[in-house]
């Protein structure tokens, strides 16, 4: 990961382990959990990137990058982009697509094994909905360097967190949770089984 590592970086799984076992792992869940994919239309992806307002000084993680619907407009802002994808064929397509863009790094990696950057970072992603809760827990855990995250998730979950107003673990909830905007089902291909919305996590 970019940036100097003065301390051990943490993975999503580090924040989702119980005393008995990890809450999820590639060998304990069905393939649909990881291969399920609802691609954002290009116009919606561009809209979300524009609204986020990233620039050359930012490090942005695209978690569950798919075919690069968000990666491409993020790269156009000049930001340093880390695109994380597990599906082998999608990874190959991403690497071909962004081979000439040195500020885009593609990682073939399970999101639960992602080591979070040791430098300040942001997230703009359309991740697998089945991984929403462990991702949010990891991104908002004490010690992470997250500045802001915009996550396209199931609308019901976004609404619940937005009403609660905070996200994190334990009594130290350092991040505010905001229902940013609704995303219609027709904004995806194929359409997801439920409506979507954008959850913004910020300090």
Instruction: Give the total residue count for the chain.
Output: 203
Rounded distance, CA 28 to CA 145, Å?
A: 29
Compute CA distances 152 → 107, 134, 195, whole Å: 20, 15, 10
Q: Is 40 annotated as a binding residue?
A: yes
Burial 84-110 (b: 16+ CB within 10 A, else e): bbbbeebbebbeebbeeeeebebbebb
Q: Is 178 annotated as a binding residue?
A: no
Q: Which residue has the tokens 């350092």?
A: 174
Antiparallel, parallel or unpaired: β 166-167 and 104-108: unpaired
Give the E-state strand segments of 109-195 in sequence order. 121-125, 146-154, 166-167, 175-183, 188-189
Rounded distance, CA 76 to CA 52, Å?
A: 13
Q: Is 110 annotated as a binding residue?
A: yes
Q: Is 58 annotated as a binding residue?
A: no
Q: Is 113 annotated as a binding residue?
A: no
Binding residues for S-adenosyl-L-methionine: 38, 40, 64, 85, 110, 126
Binding residues: 38, 40, 64, 85, 110, 126
């Amino acid at each position: 990961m970019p940036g100097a590592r003065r301390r051990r970086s943490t993975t999503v799984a580090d924040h989702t382990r119980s005393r008995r076992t990890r809450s999820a792992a590639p060998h304990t869940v069905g393939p649909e959990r990881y291969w399920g994919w609802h691609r954002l239309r290009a116009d919606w992806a561009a809209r979300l990137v524009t609204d986020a307002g990233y620039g050359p000084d930012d490090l942005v993680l695209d978690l569950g990058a798919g075919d690069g619907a968000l990666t491409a407009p993020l790269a156009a802002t000049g930001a340093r982009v880390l695109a994380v994808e597990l599906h082998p064929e999608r990874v190959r397509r991403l690497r071909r697509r962004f081979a000439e863009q040195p500020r885009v790094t593609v990682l073939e990696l399970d999101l639960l094994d992602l080591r979070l950057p040791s430098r300040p970072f942001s997230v703009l992603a359309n991740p697998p909905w089945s991984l929403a809760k462990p991702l949010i827990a990891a991104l908002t855990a004490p010690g992470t360097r997250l500045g802001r995250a915009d996550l396209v998730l199931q609308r019901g979950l976004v609404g619940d967190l937005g009403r609660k107003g905070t996200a994190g673990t334990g009594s130290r909830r350092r991040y505010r949770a905001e229902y940013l905007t609704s995303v219609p089902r027709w904004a995806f291909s194929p359409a997801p089984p439920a409506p979507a919305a954008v959850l913004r996590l910020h300090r």
